[in-house]
């Protein structure tokens, strides 16, 4: 069964990665993590969760995933997401929008993730400025934040 995608979705993710159903925040940790695990996108880019019995479309305010923390290990950077997973930061996908909010691609570059302020501040501790702007260096390569 597929929920009609033209109806207003019952499930919503705000710009901090919080999930809501029918206006009520999903606070149960295991339900929250399970929903994140089921998250996918269709060919048109609409977000949905599918547990095998039905596809439920959801509305996403900004990005479904949020970078909660960043840490540097040697020459690499790792991010911890709101679904409690950790992955290596792909510096090639790092970008900053016109509102000075950084984003990166996560989950094998399938989804965008928005940085929280603490993660952004931690990242900027490693940034260097030159005549071309701010960059983060890893393994001898400069990755400009643009």
pLDDT at 4: 45
pLDDT of 6 strictly over 70: no
Percentage of the chain exceeding pLDDT 70? 95
Based on the domain organization, do 25 and 51 belong to the same domain?
A: yes
1 in a structural domain? no
Query: Average pLDDT, stretch 88-115?
Result: 96
3 state SS of 119: helix
SS3 assignment, position 122: helix
Q: Residue 37 belongs to what H/E stretch?
A: helix 29-38
Judgement on whether residues 69 and 56 belong to the same structural domain of the protein: no
**Is residue 27 situated within a structural domain?**
yes
pLDDT for 69: 97
Residue 101 to residue 31: CA distance in whole angstroms? 28
Q: Are residues 126 and 96 in the same domain?
A: yes
φ/ψ of 7, rounded to 5, equals: -75, 155
User: Contact at 8 Å (CB) between 3 and 47?
Assistant: no
Rounded to the nearest integer, the mean pLDDT of the chain is 93
33 and 72 share a domain?
no
CATH number of residue 16's parent domain = 3.10.540.10
Q: How far apart are CA 122 and CA 125, in angstroms?
A: 5
Query: How many domains are contained in the chain?
Result: 2
R_g (Cα) of the chain, nearest Å: 17
In a domain, 6, yes or no: no
- Region 79-93 average pLDDT: 97
State residue 7's pLDDT score: 66
**How many residues does the structure list for the chain?**
146
Supply the range of the domain harboring residue 132: 65-144
**47 and 80 share a domain?**
no
Contact 30, 38 (CB under 8 A): no
């Amino acid at each position: 069964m597929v929920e009609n995608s033209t109806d207003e979705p019952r499930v919503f993710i705000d710009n901090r990665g919080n999930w809501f159903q029918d206006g009520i925040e999903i606070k149960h940790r295991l339900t929250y993590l399970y929903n994140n695990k089921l998250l996918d996108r269709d060919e048109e880019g609409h977000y949905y969760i599918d547990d095998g019995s039905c596809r439920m479309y959801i509305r996403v305010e900004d990005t479904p995933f949020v970078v909660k923390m960043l840490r540097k290990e040697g020459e690499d950077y790792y991010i911890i997401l709101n679904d409690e997973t950790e992955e290596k930061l792909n510096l090639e996908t790092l970008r900053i929008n016109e509102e000075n909010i950084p984003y990166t691609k996560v989950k094998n570059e399938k989804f965008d993730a928005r940085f929280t302020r603490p993660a952004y501040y931690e990242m900027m501790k490693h940034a260097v400025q030159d005549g071309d702007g701010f960059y983060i260096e890893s393994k001898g390569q400069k990755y400009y934040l643009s």
